């Protein structure tokens, strides 16, 4: 006899609660979703994607995995793990656009609770699930209806990923926190210059994110995390690979950057914390 465990996931077909049954998830209306051998579940219905392989492609995902593993983004991971919204027992967190899962995976190993990573890229979710066994990993489209129950999450993370404020509002608990990460002032400016890009208006990125989430959310905190980091040759190649904007640079400037033995760059993120407007914080 199979025992069903309640979890805050809902069926992408009929929106009924999903239960975990042995090696699959199922709803009361008989819609089954198998757990892949890596441990993730694909809840993306074919009409919810525009292409056969949406999101970051496998080369980008693997470059991002190596870049995280090299320690270049470790201060970001450390900062998130110290966030007061996250740092409590039994916390439930959705990381929407989780990529290869480094940030959520680290939190799931540090804290007790429910950790769900969602990404539209199957490759990203596959390698996240293979490495981090304490979290639930799903393939889903964060820009459509997410297969997550109403008012079920204490925290939603949206790190350098597309945002869906209406769904975030539905899924967050009334006192929940939305943490958004966008590129901060002078992010990668030295590499941008090498690749002949202008620096862009970074304040605008944070303001745009906050504006996009209003009026459902109000910004309650804004913090810039910025540090200098010296990249080696392999890290330069991975950073270019994982950042689509850099692909548009000329072959000559890309080749020149790839031949550098090292480059000291600014890594900078703006972290916004938002709460529900009218929530009972």
Ligand X SMILES: C[S@@+](CC[C@H](N)C(=O)[O-])C[C@H]1O[C@@H](n2cnc3c(N)ncnc32)[C@H](O)[C@@H]1O
Residue 179 vs 236, nearer CB to ligand X = 179
Residue 30 vs 71, nearer CB to Zn ion = 30
Determine, following the binding rule CB under 6 A, whether residue 91 of this chain makes contact with ligand X: no
Binds Zn ion (CB under 5 A): choice among 31, 49, 130, 173: 31
What is the distance between the alpha carbons of residues 76 and 186, in angstroms, rounded to a whole number? 16
Binds ligand X (CB under 6 A): choice among 8, 26, 105, 142: 142
Site map (CB under 6 A) of ligand X, residues 14-53, x = contact: ----------------------------------------
Determine, following the binding rule CB under 6 A, whether residue 165 of this chain makes contact with ligand X: no
Residue 27 vs 182, nearer CB to Zn ion = 27
Determine, following the binding rule CB under 5 A, whether residue 228 of this chain makes contact with Zn ion: no
Residue 92 vs 121, nearer CB to ligand X = 121
Nearest CA-CA partner of 126 in 134, 117, 13, 81: 117
Site map (CB under 6 A) of ligand X, residues 100-139, x = contact: ---x---------------xxx--x---------------
At closest approach, how far in Å is the CB of 105 from ligand X?
Answer: 10
The token pair that represents 150 in the structure block: 């109403």
Stretch that binds Zn ion, among 7-15, 118-126, 140-148, 230-238 (CB under 5 A): 7-15
Binds ligand X (CB under 6 A): choice among 6, 30, 71, 162: 162
Determine, following the binding rule CB under 5 A, whether residue 29 of this chain makes contact with Zn ion: yes
Q: Which does 159 bind (CB under 5 to 8 A by kind): ligand X, Zn ion, none?
A: ligand X
Determine, following the binding rule CB under 6 A, whether residue 97 of this chain makes contact with ligand X: yes
For the chain, what is the HEC assignment? Answer: CCCCEEEEEECCCCCCEEEEECCEEECCCCCEEEECCCCCEECCCHHHCCCCCCCCCHHHHHHHHHHHHCCCCHHHHHHHHCCCCCCCCCEEEEEECCCCCHHHHHHHHHCCEEEEEEECCHHHHHHHHHHCCCCEEEECCCCCCCCECCCCEEEEEEECCCCCHHHHHHHEEEEEEEEEEEECCCCCHHHHHHCCCCCCCHHHHHHHHHHHHCCCEEEEEEEEEEEEEEEEHHHHHHHHHHCHHHHHCCHHHHHHHHCCCEEEEEEEEEEEEEEECCCCC
Residue 39 vs 105, nearer CB to ligand X = 105
Where along the sequence are the contacts to Zn ion (CB under 5 A)? 11, 13-14, 16, 27, 29, 31
Where along the sequence are the contacts to ligand X (CB under 6 A)? 55-56, 64, 97-99, 103, 119-121, 124, 141-143, 159-162
């Amino acid at each position: 006899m199979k025992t069903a465990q309640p979890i805050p996931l809902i069926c992408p077909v009929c929106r009924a609660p999903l239960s975990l049954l042995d090696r699959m998830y199922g709803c009361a209306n008989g819609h089954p979703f198998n757990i892949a051998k890596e441990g993730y579940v694909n809840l993306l219905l074919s009409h919810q994607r525009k292409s056969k392989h949406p999101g970051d492609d496998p080369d980008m995902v693997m470059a991002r995995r190596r870049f995280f593993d090299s320690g270049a983004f470790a201060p970001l991971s450390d900062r998130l793990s110290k966030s007061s919204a996250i740092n409590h027992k039994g916390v439930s967190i959705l990381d929407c656009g989780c990529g290869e899962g480094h940030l959520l995976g680290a939190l799931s190993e540090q804290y007790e609770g429910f950790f769900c990573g969602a990404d539209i890229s199957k490759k990203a979710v596959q390698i996240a699930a293979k490495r981090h066994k304490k979290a639930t990993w799903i393939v889903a489209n964060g820009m459509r209806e997410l297969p997550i129950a109403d008012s079920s999450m204490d925290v939603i993370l949206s790190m350098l990923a597309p945002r869906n404020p209406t769904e975030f509002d539905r899924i967050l608990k009334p006192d929940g926190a939305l943490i958004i990460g966008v590129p901060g002032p002078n992010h990668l400016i030295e590499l941008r210059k090498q690749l002949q890009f202008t620096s862009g208006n970074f304040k605008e990125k944070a303001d745009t994110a906050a504006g996009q989430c209003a009026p459902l959310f109000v910004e309650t905190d804004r913090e810039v995390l910025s540090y200098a980091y010296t990249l080696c040759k392999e890290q330069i190649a991975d950073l270019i690979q994982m950042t689509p904007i850099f692909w548009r640079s000329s072959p000559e400037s890309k080749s020149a950057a790839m031949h550098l033995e090292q480059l000291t760059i600014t890594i900078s993120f703006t972290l916004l914390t938002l709460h529900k407007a009218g929530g009972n914080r």
